[in-house]
Amino acid sequence: MISNAVKYSKAGKPVDFTLTVHSDRILAQVRDRGIGIPAEDWPRLFEAFHRAQNVGNITGTGLGLSIVKQCVDLHDGQISFESHLGKGTTFTVMLPLRGSVVTMGCDCGF
Whether residue 19 lies inside any domain: the answer is yes
Q: Is 17 helix (H, G, I), strand (E, B) or coil?
A: strand
- pLDDT by position in tens, the chain (length 110): 999 899 888 888 999 999 999 999 999 999 999 899 999 999 999 999 988 888 878 888 889 899 999 999 999 999 999 999 999 999 999 999 986 555 666 666 65
Whether residue 77 lies inside any domain: the answer is yes
Residue-level pLDDT at 10 = 82
Asked whether the whole model's pTM tops 0.75, one would answer yes
Number of domains in the chain: 1
Whether residue 68 lies inside any domain: the answer is yes
CATH code of the domain in which 56 resides? 3.30.565.10
Whether residue 55 lies inside any domain: the answer is yes
Where in the sequence is the domain holding 62, given as residue range(s)?
2-96
Contact by Cβ (8 Å): 35, 85: yes
Question: What is the rounded (10 degree) CA torsion for 43, 47, 53, 55?
Answer: 130
H/E element, 71: helix 64-74
Length of the chain: 110
